[in-house]
Amino acid sequence: MYVPETDDLRLRVLRYKHDHPLLGHFGQNHTLELIRHEYTWPGIRTYVKDYVKSCTACARAKTPCHRPYGMLKQLPVPDRPWNSISMDFIEQLPSSSGFTAILVVIDRLSKQAIFIPTHDTITSTTSYRSRRRTRVRDHRDPQLKVRPTSTSMPTPLPS
């Protein structure tokens, strides 16, 4: 039987076949098979796939199929200010005085932050020079530099 796309009929069929207490919460293939026995409509496979993926009951009941996550290693507590810094970029900003990004340098002990205007196309060398030109130059070179793991800079920062 063809199910038209009116009055959420397709959604009601899918809920009946997937969420029913006696039939309920099978995977994509089994739900698709149950529906195809009696109903059809264009794009039925993607409709069922999207619905089953968004089903919260299925997500809660599904067991993880990956190895357990490892233990996190805590960073050492810095012994003096500006001995350990954290750096990150705020990118794709509207242009202001020719700058389109901000390099954020944070002291991990005092939480003092320095915001350095820069460009989206910055390299590690340019980042180092920008840091040296600003207030970071007033402090010693840090022992530890922490950056997020998903960074756009291809090379590590020079010391």
| pLDDT tens for the 159 residues of the chain, in order | 888 777 788 888 888 888 877 767 788 888 888 888 898 889 899 988 998 888 888 877 777 778 888 888 888 888 888 888 888 889 889 999 989 999 888 888 999 998 988 888 877 777 666 666 665 556 666 766 776 655 444 334 444
Nearest Cα to Cα of residue 105 among 30, 157, 42: 157
Q: Is 117 helix (H, G, I), strand (E, B) or coil?
A: strand
Tokens of 137: 């130059």
* Distance, CA of 31 to CA of 110 (rounded, Å): 56
Report the pLDDT value the prediction gives residue 11, as an integer from 0 to 100.
Answer: 87
Q: Are 28 and 48 in contact (CB under 8 A)?
A: yes
Question: Which residue type sits at 92?
Answer: Q
Question: Which residue type sits at 151?
Answer: T
Report the pLDDT value the prediction gives residue 120, as an integer from 0 to 100.
Answer: 84
